[in-house]
Amino acid sequence: MQVQKQLEKTIIDDAILVRQSQRGDSVATGRLITKYRDRIYNAILKICANSHDAAELTQETFVKCIEKINTFEGKSAFYTWLFRIAVNLTLNYCKRRTRTRAQSLQSVVAEESDGAAVELGAFLADQSAADPAVLAQDAEIGEIVLGALTRLEEHHRAVVILRDIEGMSYSEIAETLHIEVGTVKSRLSRARANLREILKAVLYP
C-alpha cells in the first residue's frame, strides 16, 4: 500500500513537471533529467555493459525525450515512456555489439578468482545464506553477473533488467516494450532460466 502511494505520488509529480516542460519551462525539464538520469544510465549500462556507450546513450535518450516531450499525451506514466525510449535506443545499439560482449565475457570470467566464483555459485544454488546486497557489492561478482546478462538475448535482457533491477510491474514492462503481458511473463521466465544456465556454465565449466 505504501509503495502504491509512493508510485502514485511519483506519477503526479512527473505529470506536473512534464506539463511545465511542455510549456518550455527549462527548469522543469532539468528536474526531470536530474530525477531519472541515474536510473536511465544504470539501466542502459547494464544492458550495454560499457560506461562510455551508456553515457552517450543516456544523453541521446534525454535529448530525444525533450525533443518529443510535446508528443507525450500522458496515457502512460512518464518514466515508462522514458524507459521505452532508452531501452529501444540501447537494444538497437547493442544488436551490433552482442558478439563482442559475449567473447569478452569469457575472458573476464576466466580471469576472475576462484573464490568469487565459488561464493557466487553457492549463493545461486541456494546453498549459502549470504546477504545478496553484500555479495553484489563485490566487484568481481558484479562483473560476472553483468557479463552473464550481456549474453542474454536483447529482448530477454531488457525484461530482466526492467523487472529485477528497475522493479517494474509486468504491465509496465509490457507498456515499455510494446508487448502483451503474457509475452512479458513467458519472456521473463525464459530469460531467467537462460541466465541461470549461463551463470552455471560460467561458474561450473
Residues in touch with other proteins (CB under 8 A): 30, 33-34, 37-38, 40-42, 45-46, 51, 55, 58-60, 62-63, 66-67, 123-126, 132-133, 135-137, 142, 145-146, 149, 160, 163-165, 167, 169-170, 185-186, 188-190, 192-193, 195-196, 199
Say how far apart CA 119 and CA 181 lie, in whole Å.
35
Strand, helix or coil for residue 204: coil
Q: Which CB atom, from 49 or from 94, has the smaller least distance to other proteins?
A: 49
- On the CB side of 66, CA atoms within 13 Å amount to 16
Cell of 160: 530482466
CB of 7 to other proteins, least distance (A): 14
Question: Minimum distance from CB of 103 to other proteins (Å)?
Answer: 22
Specify the residue, 83 or 99, whose C-beta has the smaller distance to other proteins.
83
Give the C-alpha separation, 106 to 200, whole Å: 13
Following DSSP, what letter does each residue of 125-184 receive, concatenated? Answer: TT-----HHHHHT-HHHHHHHHHHHHTS-HHHHHHHIIIIIT---HHHHHHHHT--HHHH
Grid coordinates given for 7 = 508510485
Residue 197, helix vs strand vs coil: helix
Q: Considering the complex, state which of residue 58 and residue 90 has its C-beta at the smaller distance from other proteins.
A: 58
- Torsion over CA: 53, 59, 62, 66 (sign): negative
Q: Residue 9 has which C-alpha cell?
A: 505520488
Rank residues 12 and 139 by Cβ distance to other proteins and give the closer one.
139
Query: Given the complex with other proteins, which of 70 and 189 has the nearer CB atom?
Result: 189
**Minimum distance, C-beta of residue 75 to other proteins, in the bound complex (Å):** 22
Nearer Cβ to other proteins (65/77): 65
